[in-house]
Amino acid sequence: MRQTEVLVIGGGPAGLSAALEAASLGCDVTLVDSDLALGGQLIKQTHKFFGSKEERAGTRGFKISEMLLEELHGYKDKIKVHTNCTATGYYKEDGVISCVIGEEKYFRIQAKKIVMATGAQERLLPFPKNHLPGVYGAGAVQTLMNVYGVAPGEKVIMVGAGNIGLIVSYQLMQAGVEIAGIVEAMDKIGGYWVHAAKIRRMGVPIYLRHTIKEAIGDQIVKGAVIQEINDKFQPTGTEIKIDADIICMAVGLTPTCEILWQAGCKMIYVPQLCGHVAQRDMNMRTSHPDIWVAGDAAGIEEASAAMVEGRIAGVGVAKSLGHGNASEQAKRLEDYKGRIADLRGGEVGQKICQGLKVCTVNQWEV
């Protein structure tokens, strides 16, 4: 059985930030991540981030990841990293976490405190033949083209005109892939206008008030039938058949929270945060006294917010272990809380704040 003071599950923006923060206050940290490289979804983000200056607005996502990894390098004595290592379960009787390296090499690890930064998974819409190879998540398409340099296909139907749908469409065009059209059920584009404008300029049709009816193909995707819908989301009868080899789903994410359920953390369904999330206090501690949560696992938001949440959780963990002095902890917490409030200041942030109200407690009863 391995032992660690702090275990961080997930090496994306939230997990990396939590590990760095905890280590900087003196904690010994083990960080596990199921992917082959650290950085989570940041490593596939080629666009420049919005948000605030502190959270590196104007910097491309993968560059932010590089900065975090450089910072991590400075703590190589305090943070032990395992990639290609999936946390597979939490055992309630003794608080042990089981992990698997690759597919077959298991080990157990016991931690005094755990930060769950397990991220999110993509949503899929129900439609006939949505199982066909060629129906890919938007994140998966980004992984193929932006991390591994593999063209995902020749012609893509994008489903969803939120920021992810728009950004990935643009990135596909940068990679030389044709966008057959963007399909959006709402009557307006959900993402930022600056992203939509780039795509419109390149002549890509955006089908508002349309939804995907079915995929076409026997073994793999050959296209899709899309249909117009009215303001009650009922089909009007107008259909369009589009040829494509990829149907890219950019219809949102939902928090990955199985391990939080397993650990018995109090969970609550919060639509504004896109699924079930753990209840947490102001420092991101869940109802379980030894478990913190941060990033998309705590509710779907931007990576910039995930980084600050990770920092807050990191301080919270260090504080509970008696690392660092009280004034330093308080100073950092105040700084991070101010920064995250700034990030949530806009229109999108209002929705997030509504959701957070539902799942945040002032303080857990002792």
Partner 1 sequence: MNLIEKHPIIDFKHGKKVTFSFDGKEMEGFEGDPIAAALHANGVRIYRETPIKEQTRGFFCAIGKCSSCFMVVDGVPNVRTCVTPLKVGMRVETQRGKGVIAMDAE
The reply on whether position 5 binds partner 1 by CB under 8 A is no
The single residue among 103, 231, 347, 365 that binds partner 1, judged by CB under 8 A, is 103
The single residue among 52, 59, 84, 360 that binds partner 1, judged by CB under 8 A, is 84
Binding region for partner 1 (CB under 8 A) out of 50-58, 117-125, 187-195, 285-293: 117-125
The reply on whether position 148 binds partner 1 by CB under 8 A is yes
The reply on whether position 13 binds partner 1 by CB under 8 A is no
Binding region for partner 1 (CB under 8 A) out of 139-147, 199-207, 295-303, 349-357: 139-147
Q: 91 and 340 in contact (C-beta within 8 Å)?
A: no
Residue whose CB is less far from partner 1, 119 or 181: 119
Q: Which long-range contacts (CB under 8 A, 24 or more apart) does 337-346 make?
A: 337/282, 337/312, 339/52, 339/54, 339/55, 339/308, 340/305, 340/308, 340/309, 340/312, 342/52, 342/54, 343/51, 343/52, 343/55, 343/302, 343/304, 343/305, 343/308, 344/305
The single residue among 53, 128, 174, 264 that binds partner 1, judged by CB under 8 A, is 174
The reply on whether position 219 binds partner 1 by CB under 8 A is yes
Q: 36 and 83 in contact (C-beta within 8 Å)?
A: yes
Nearest CA to 190 out of 307, 356, 351, 12 is that of 351
Tokens of 365: 């009863």
Residue whose CB is less far from partner 1, 149 or 237: 149
The reply on whether position 35 binds partner 1 by CB under 8 A is yes
| Smallest separation, CB 275 to partner 1 (Å) | 14
Angstrom distances, CA of residue 266 to CA of 13, 36, 257, 275, 285: 24, 31, 11, 14, 11
The single residue among 137, 255, 324, 355 that binds partner 1, judged by CB under 8 A, is 137
By CB under 8 A, how many residues form the interface with partner 1? 38
Distance CA 280, CA 298 (A): 9
- Taking residue 6's Cβ as centre, other Cβ atoms within 10 Å add up to 28
- Residues lying near partner 1 in the complex (CB under 8 A) are found at 34-36, 46, 60, 62, 84, 86, 102-104, 119, 121-122, 131-137, 139-140, 143-146, 148-152, 174-176, 219-220, 256
